[in-house]
Chains A and B, each alone.
Chain A
């Protein structure tokens, strides 16, 4: 189209490349940005004859009637709702009802399909990110409730073959959307209630996301409510990120942490509070180790 090739190539990521046919100059969404191996791959694919003739499609559309075009358009959006962002009508791209409808459709699809693969999960995460400003807090809770209570039905975002979990990005995006809403202490009670059903711990990412610096600062006034949701070390991280260093240090000094990997994390948390305290902690751990092994 326009004497240009448009292609998608799988490299480290999926890249969009375009190459002008007159001088073969290419640009690409990869880190190199232009005249890269992805552009070469697109050109060779074109040379092989295995490509779609975009001009032919446009020509066909020129002769199609309006309802036919609308139908095609609808199918394209259903296949990739993110394409809505290409529309210039802002009232379409930020429509609250459309967001709700689309998300509920995807949830329903999860149940019907019986298993959610990585690609679907990634698309779902993209949809949440795309609509994060317009989806309501209630919808976020109903998504969380669905994901917790229907874990077995959609496979829990887990790939048994590669023994890999791919749901983190969904819960991170849900939390990012949640943080932007008008939050009340009641919301944390709702989350506590949901945690009772979360046998597989899938809400952990959502809750831990609240500890991240920019999110923690927005939630600083709810620290007491958040404390009930977090484990001690995550809560210390939250306190550090809202600059309540004394309280964070106090917890580190008074609580007993038993997990093997805690020492390294505690050392890093101390580092954020006070370097001298971190060194003292490291010396203490080393001397305890010496007592055990020597």
Chain B
């Protein structure tokens, strides 16, 4: 999986906002 796969499911605005959240360190934890 890469960023383009995510862009295919999520619209551009949502993707950019999510990317900002990730860059700002707003993700507290992810469990896979």
Contact = CB atoms under 8 A, between A and B. Distances in A.
How many chain A residues sit at the interface, stated as a range, is 20 to 34
A207 interface: no
Interface string A1-37: 1000111111100100000010111000000000111
Contact of B6 (A40, A53, A54): A40
B28 to A, nearest CB: 4
How many chain B residues sit at the interface, stated as a range, is 20 to 34
Interface stretch (A44-52, A96-104, A234-242, A280-288): A44-52
Contacts of B15: 37, 40
A77 interface: no
A249 B19 CA distance: 57
B22 A41 contact: yes
Interface in B1-32: 1-3, 5-6, 8-10, 14-15, 17-22, 26-32
B13 to A, nearest CB: 8
B2 to A, nearest CB: 7
Contact of A52 (B6, B19, B32): B32
Contacts of A55: 32
Contacts of A10: 21, 26-28
Contacts of B1: 21, 24, 43, 47
B17 to A, nearest CB: 4
Chain A binding surface SS class: mixed
A41 B18 contact: yes
B7 to A, nearest CB: 9
Nearest to B5: A24
Nearest to A7: B30
Contacts of A45: 22, 27, 30
B21 A37 contact: yes
B27 A8 contact: yes
Nearest to A57: B31
A145 B11 CA distance: 54
A24 to B, nearest CB: 4
B18 to A, nearest CB: 2
Given A10-B28, A40-B15, A52-B32, 17 more contacts: A6-B31, A7-B28, A8-B27, A9-B28, A21-B1, A23-B9, A24-B1, A24-B5, A24-B6, A38-B21, A41-B22, A41-B27, A42-B30, A43-B18, A45-B22, A45-B30, A53-B32
A-B pairs with lowest CB-CB distance, top 5: A40-B18, A37-B17, A41-B21, A37-B18, A51-B30
